[in-house]
């Protein structure tokens, strides 16, 4: 039985602070493959997916992980980590065993569309079985998951995969596996999110993660929902939720420093709601992504953000410290630990708050939001200036990040 709950989220960055209040590298996400049987419309690594690849020995990566003293969580992603049994046996299981031997909490990001035996094999070593779920019907599934293919599979193929995804979710939930499903608030899910949430509850999903659409890679041309609509969708979900399911808002586009009272009211509503949390974005704060195949060290697995180093050539923690020093000088490098906020996700802030320098922001004490892990006595960033989101978000001009750090984009 997992110890995770709305009261304890091991991926929350504020839990990884040291005695001086400094956030440290405690989480690694490993990209184990570039292969996937799907080509989802929203895929943040879509163009990086491959058909064939060499399978490297994981020994050198494990030695790099040994150098991270405070490793507490490890995630596995792809591509699709359950793409074939050889990948599971040679790479996924050894990584999970390694993490468990170190006492880490583990997560695997999977589409759950293969035979359930593969998932039952890894389930004993997995604390979070993480899936994407943005559908109400097999037709929705077909449209969203084969969007990146020139030749679409037959509708029956999509229907069979969708049915297997749902059957596997139900079966794993019955076996006691903590299945966490991520949905995006986007024009695709607008007006339907509560129904999606209730379907997930029926399937036995324990946590529903809700994020904005990330304008990266395959998704860089997709329309984003404006912040007014986003706020309305979040409120409708809170009104219609199943209280048995933990709702986790990740990379949330509303901040305690906002001058818009509607943002502050939404945060205050979430703070009052049992079983609903907002997680600080772990990427670049406590977590880095490492690619097993090419050695790249990344701030996130989103393909639009280039590598910040290579673990074949240097310890991962060295790349992290270099990144952190640079990050502090970007316009996203803010923190307000007195309310438990560590600033925005870069892609989300680029899309919704173009040009805003968050280092000049500060959450007032009476913001209505005080995160569970808020701490006092730690320096906060800058002074107050207005931060209002764009009702209709700007596109990232050329599909790549425009951030004032040499380490990105």
Site string for ligand SF4, 371-400 (x = CB under 6 A): ----------x-------------------
Stretch binding ligand SF4 (CB under 6 A), from 26-34, 38-46, 284-292, 356-364: 356-364
Beta-bridge mates of residue 296? 310
In the bound state with ligand SF4, the residue whose beta carbon lies nearer, of 296 and 337, is 337
Q: Which of 11, 146, 214, 358 is the binder for ligand SF4 (CB under 6 A)?
A: 358
Q: By rule CB under 6 A, what string of x and - marks binding of each residue 330-349 to ligand SF4? A: ----xxx----xxxx-----
Q: How far is the CB of 383 from ligand SF4 (least distance, A)?
A: 10
Nearest to 78 by CA among 48, 116, 115, 114: 48
Number of residues that bind ligand SF4 (CB under 6 A): 15
Q: How far is the CB of 238 from ligand SF4 (least distance, A)?
A: 21
Taking the least distance from each CB to ligand SF4, the nearer of 76 and 257 is 257
Give the nearest distance from C-beta 74 to ligand SF4 in angstroms.
26
Complex with ligand SF4: residue 206 or 359, whichever CB lies closer:
359
Rule CB under 6 A: is residue 13 a binding residue for ligand SF4? no
Site for ligand SF4, residues 249 to 278, rule: CB under 6 A = 255-257
Pairing relationship of beta strands 207-212 and 179-185 according to DSSP bridges: parallel
Would you state the structure tokens that stand for residue 254, as one six-digit string? 């509303």
- Pick from 363, 396, 407, 408 the residue near ligand SF4 by CB under 6 A: 363
Among 85-93, 127-135, 162-170, 361-369, the segment contacting ligand SF4 (CB under 6 A): 361-369
CB of 66 to ligand SF4, least distance (A): 33
- Which of 326, 361, 370, 393 binds ligand SF4 (CB under 6 A)? It is 361
Residue number, 10 or 343, with CB nearest to ligand SF4: 343
Q: What backbone phi and psi angles, to 5 degrees, belong to 15?
A: -75, -15
Q: How far is the CB of 365 from ligand SF4 (least distance, A)?
A: 12
Which of residues 237 and 339 has its CB atom nearest to ligand SF4 in the complex? 339
Q: Give the residues lining the site for ligand SF4 (CB under 6 A).
A: 255-257, 334-336, 341-344, 358, 361-363, 381
């Amino acid at each position: 039985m997992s110890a995770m709950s709305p009261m304890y989220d091991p991926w929350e960055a504020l839990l990884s602070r040291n005695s001086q209040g400094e956030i440290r590298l405690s989480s690694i996400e490993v990209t184990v493959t570039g292969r996937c049987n799907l080509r989802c419309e929203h895929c943040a690594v879509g163009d990086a997916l491959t058909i064939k690849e060499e399978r490297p020995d994981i020994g050198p990566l494990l030695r790099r992980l040994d150098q991270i003293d405070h490793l507490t969580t490890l995630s596995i992603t792809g591509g699709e980590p359950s793409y074939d049994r050889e990948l599971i046996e040679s790479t996924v299981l050894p990584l999970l065993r390694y993490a468990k031997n170190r006492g880490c909490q583990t997560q695997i990001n999977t589409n759950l569309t293969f035979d359930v035996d593969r998932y039952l094999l890894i389930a004993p070593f997995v604390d979070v079985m993480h899936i994407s779920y943005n559908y109400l019907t097999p037709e929705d599934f077909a449209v969203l998951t084969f969007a990146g293919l020139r030749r679409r599979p037959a509708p029956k193929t999509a229907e069979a995969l969708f049915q297997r995804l749902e059957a596997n979710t139900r079966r794993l939930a019955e076996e006691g596996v903590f299945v966490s499903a991520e949905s995006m608030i986007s024009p695709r899910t607008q007006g339907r999110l509560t129904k999606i949430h209730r379907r997930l509850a029926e399937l036995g999903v324990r946590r529903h993660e809700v994020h904005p659409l990330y304008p990266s890679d395959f998704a860089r041309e997709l329309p984003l929902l404006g912040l007014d609509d986003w706020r309305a969708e979040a409120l409708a979900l809170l009104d219609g939720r199943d209280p048995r399911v933990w709702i986790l808002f990740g990379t949330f586009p509303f901040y305690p420093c906002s001058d818009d009272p509607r943002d502050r009211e939404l945060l205050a509503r979430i703070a009052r709601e049992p079983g609903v949390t907002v997680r600080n974005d772990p990427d670049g704060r406590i977590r880095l992504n490492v690619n097993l195949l090419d050695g790249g060290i990344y701030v996130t697995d989103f393909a639009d953000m280039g590598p910040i180093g290579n673990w074949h050539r240097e310890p991962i923690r060295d790349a992290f410290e270099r990144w952190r020093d640079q990050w502090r000088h970007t316009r996203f490098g803010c923190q307000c630990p007195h309310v438990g906020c560590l600033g925005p996700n870069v892609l989300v802030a680029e899309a919704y708050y173009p040009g805003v320098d968050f280092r000049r922001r500060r959450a007032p004490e009476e913001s209505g939001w005080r995160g569970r892990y808020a701490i006092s006595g730690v320096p906060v960033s800058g002074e107050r200036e207005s931060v209002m989101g764009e009702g209709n978000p700007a596109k990232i001009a050329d599909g790549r990040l425009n951030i004032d750090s040499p380490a990105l984009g």
